Amino acid sequence: MSFKSRVVFLTVMIMITNLIFAAKPLERIANELGVQGENLFNEGKYKESAESFKEAILKYNEAVNKDGIPMDLSKVDTWWFYAYQAYLNDRNFEHAVEALNKRIEINPDSYDLIKDKALIYRKYLDQPMEAINILINFNKGNRNFEVEKKIGKYYADLDNFENALVWYKKAYELKKDATVIKNIASLNIKLKRNSEAIQAYENFIETNPGESDLAKTYKNMGALYEELENQEKAIEYYEKSNQLRYDNRLTLLLISKSYEIGMYDKSLEYIDLLLSNRPENDDAIYYRAMIRYEREELEAAKADFEELLSNTKYKSLAQGYIKSIESE
């Protein structure tokens, strides 16, 4: 091979080598940075991980603008999600919000992202009103039951009961919900509007809710009347709830409440009901023993107290009553 030929050959080889080792495509660099971000995250290097994902997004945008590759928003959204998670783990909440804002630009209708952003402002940045404003602004375009319920909760957490009531009522306009009506009633009680609290429940019952919601509402009404120290009304609504959806704990509550106000026959009915579902229930046996003792049915009372001697909760008390009965 002549000298000239060798020069040409070497020149061509150098050109080929230069092409082989030329700068990597921007898209490839972006993808490698994304992988690097994942690895750093798994290593617990959250700050470095977040920066790697941000750099990946920067290089990817360059690739779109300079190399003309199609924009894949799902990929960018995923990288911002990882950056957000990394910032959260690094407790860098300001930058976490910035990452969330980028995701919100891609997914403007996502309530989950708005909810997360509001939560960060409320819980970590100690800016509860900013959290509320975020939710209110999101709700302006298209009213949302979950958003309005959340605004009501955030106001209630601030003890701003008037505004909480406003937003729970707004939510209730969108959905006749048993939990929301409970919150409305509770807020009215806090605001000393007892009749309005009761009326709220009664209005909800008139909407013919399903059996589960109705049972829950009756139970809530029982608790409301109990708070208002109207024990007979409380028992009435607890009983209505229990008739729709039997519950052992509620039955025990009915036993104790009716016993406390001297409704012994009623209490015995509930005791029989509980024992038919939970035979040898010591709480039911205790109340039956007490009723029998107070009615001077001493032998029957003693038999009940003797059943309680193996129960650490009632043993000492039962021994005392047995001694008292035996001494008579």
The answer, yes or no, to whether residue 24 has pLDDT greater than 80, is: no
Query: Can you tell me the mean pLDDT for 5-27?
Result: 50
| Structural domain 24-107, CATH architecture | Alpha Horseshoe (1.25)
What is the tens place of the pLDDT at every residue in 131-158?
Answer: 999 999 999 988 999 999 999 999 999 9
pLDDT at residue 23, as a whole number: 53
Q: Which residue bears the tokens 């429940």?
A: 201
Q: Are 197 and 220 in contact (CB under 8 A)?
A: no
On average, the pLDDT of the chain sits at 92
Round to whole Å and give the CA distance between 313 and 82: 53
Average pLDDT over every residue of 38-65: 95
In sequence order, which ranges of 63-177 are alpha helices (DSSP H)? 73-89, 93-106, 111-119, 128-141, 145-157, 161-174
CA distance 189 to 81: 43
Answer for the pair 285, 311: CB distance below 8 angstroms, yes or no.
Answer: no
Mean pLDDT within 164-187: 97
The answer to whether 176 and 149 have CB atoms below 8 angstroms apart is no
pLDDT(238) > 70:
yes
**Would you state the torsion angle of the CA atoms of residues 190, 196, 197, 198, taken in this order, to the nearest 10 degrees?**
150
Percentage of the chain beyond pLDDT 70 is: 93
The answer, yes or no, to whether residue 16 has pLDDT greater than 60, is: no
Neighbours of 323 (CB within 10 A): 10
Domain definitions of the chain by residue range: 24-107, 109-160
pLDDT (tens digit per residue) in 102-135? 999 999 999 999 999 999 999 999 999 999 999 9
User: Angle CA(115)–CA(116)–CA(120) in degrees, nearest 5?
Assistant: 115
Cβ contacts of residue 151 below 8 Å, gap of 6+?
Answer: 132, 135, 136, 139, 167
pLDDT at 142: 87
